[in-house]
Amino acid sequence: MKMLVLSTLLTLLNLLTFARDFEIEYVDIVYLEDKPIIAASLNGKVAYFLVDTGSDISIIDENVAEEYGFRTIVNNDLNYQIEGLQGNKKALKWAKGCELIMGKGEIKARFFTLDIQHLSNSLRKKTHIEIQGIIGSDIMKKYNFRIDYKNLKIGYLNKHVIAHESNTNSSLAYYTLIRKGWQEVSSNHIY
């Protein structure tokens, strides 16, 4: 009986510790017509990102590397290419030295670089906002993005959950998600 009580107390303590570390971060959608655009901080400067559920990868415009203080590098071991609608293939480079902050949370991810000036110019004519990058489904899956079109917000699991999740079993994570009102998330979607 004492072991059962001790085990229950330890489980509750673990839940309370996890709940304290857990936050769902919300960022405003600054423009929404076809796809959301959000503001973030890229290496300490305001940058705008198109949130594109149809993009498998996240990209930062290689043309803003100097302005935002990151490097682009070619990785000859991994030859990544992207194919456009007209069948044109372009080699992707890696972005190194990028710190992306959305709201209060840091987004730790691999970013590719590509010249997206044509897309940025096209969006600027329509939105009056110049984007510096694209948040793709790789980041959306990792951080469990939820797009709230009605309230013009994007919610995601902040870095505390990502860092703490590896030390916590998934049922505890799911319990905390429900307590915080994120009920549609199942435990197997926490990355």
pTM of this prediction? 0.72
Q: Which two tokens stand for residue 84?
A: 């456009």
pLDDT of residue 45: 97
CA atoms of 159 and 47, how far apart (whole Å) = 20
Bigger pLDDT: 154 vs 10: 154
Q: What tens digit of pLDDT does each residue of 151-177 get?
A: 999 999 886 544 434 444 433 333 334
Q: Are 175 and 15 in contact (CB under 8 A)?
A: yes
**CA–CA dist 3, 62 (Å, integer):** 59
19-73 pLDDT per residue, tens = 445 578 899 999 998 899 999 999 999 999 999 999 999 999 999 999 999 999 9
